A and B are shown apart, each in its own frame.
Chain A
Amino acid sequence: AQSVTQLGSHVSVSEGALVLLRCNYSSSVPPYLFWYVQYPNQGLQLLLKYTSAATLVKGINGFEAEFKKSETSFHLTKPSAHMSDAAEYFCANNAGNMLTFGGGTRLMVKP
């Protein structure tokens, strides 16, 4: 069975501070991992995806994620938070013809 766990349903950072959103996965087959962002009343937009070509993946809006097989993790980071980054973030794994999502992390950015 596949599962995705996002530690911390809410994360609050100050503008300009480091953003770290955690994602751990459980998969019996090689994972295909994604990070999506959802702004209020919007659909999901892809931030980045792990393709096995590189363990450090760069995405849009300055976000990046590092795949660590030994830790079964795919944490999302951004060096400096911007107010516009406030949104819901979802980690997902495709291991069985469908995306299995984590519970989501709401990122709040304080001025």
Chain B
Amino acid sequence: DTAVSQTPKYLVTQMGNDKSIKCEQNLGHDTMYWYKQDSKKFLKIMFSYNNKELIINETVPNRFSPKSPDKAHLNLHINSLELGDSAVYFCASSQSPTGNTEAFFGQGTRLTVV
């Protein structure tokens, strides 16, 4: 039973389209995240939600909008996709956002914008 699951695993789409990536965790965690991994494997936080409230919103274009309908889900919607959005997007969850709390990661969604 997968702890953090993302769908789809692969997403190929044209520039200008709007797409969503879904994330669900069954660990009972309060905190969920979206990370972006670029082609050089660099990982950067995009958003963090704690108890459905946005607590971190890094410098991310407004075209990216996270939505957390409940504590177990954090979806990412992207409008007007651009070539530079091509990357692997990881969802993660943890019991709390602070300290030495381990984060559990999904398998990633490889987004390719053509």
A: residues with CB less than 8 A from B are 32, 34, 36, 38, 41-46, 49-52, 88, 90, 94, 97-101, 103-104, 106
Cβ of B18 within 8 Å of any chain A Cβ, yes or no, is no
Number of B residues near A (Cβ < 8 Å) is 26
Give Cα A51 to B103, complex, Å.
Answer: 14
Report whether A97 and B98 are in contact in the complex, using a CB–CB cutoff of 8 Å: yes
A–B Cβ pairs within 8 angstroms, 21 of them: A38-B41, A41-B107, A42-B108, A43-B90, A43-B105, A44-B92, A44-B103, A44-B105, A46-B102, A50-B100, A52-B100, A97-B48, A97-B50, A97-B56, A97-B97, A98-B97, A99-B33, A103-B41, A103-B42, A104-B41, A104-B43
Q: Which residues of the partner chain B approach A104 to less than 8 Å between Cβ atoms?
A: 41-43
Report whether A98 and B48 are in contact in the complex, using a CB–CB cutoff of 8 Å: yes
Q: Which residue of B lies closest to A46 (CB)?
A: B102
* Nearest CB in chain B: distance from A55 CB, A: 14
Q: Which residues of the partner chain A approach B40 to less than 8 Å between Cβ atoms?
A: 103
Q: Which residues of the partner chain B approach A44 to less than 8 Å between Cβ atoms?
A: 43, 90, 92, 103, 105
Report whether B105 and A88 are in contact in the complex, using a CB–CB cutoff of 8 Å: no
Give Cα A36 to B107, complex, Å.
Answer: 14
Cβ of B106 within 8 Å of any chain A Cβ, yes or no, is yes
Given contacts A94-B99, A98-B97, 13 further A-B contacts (CB under 8 A): A32-B99, A43-B90, A43-B105, A44-B105, A46-B104, A50-B100, A88-B41, A90-B43, A97-B55, A98-B56, A101-B44, A103-B41, A104-B42
Name B39-55 residues within 8 Å CB distance of A.
Answer: 40-45, 48, 50, 55
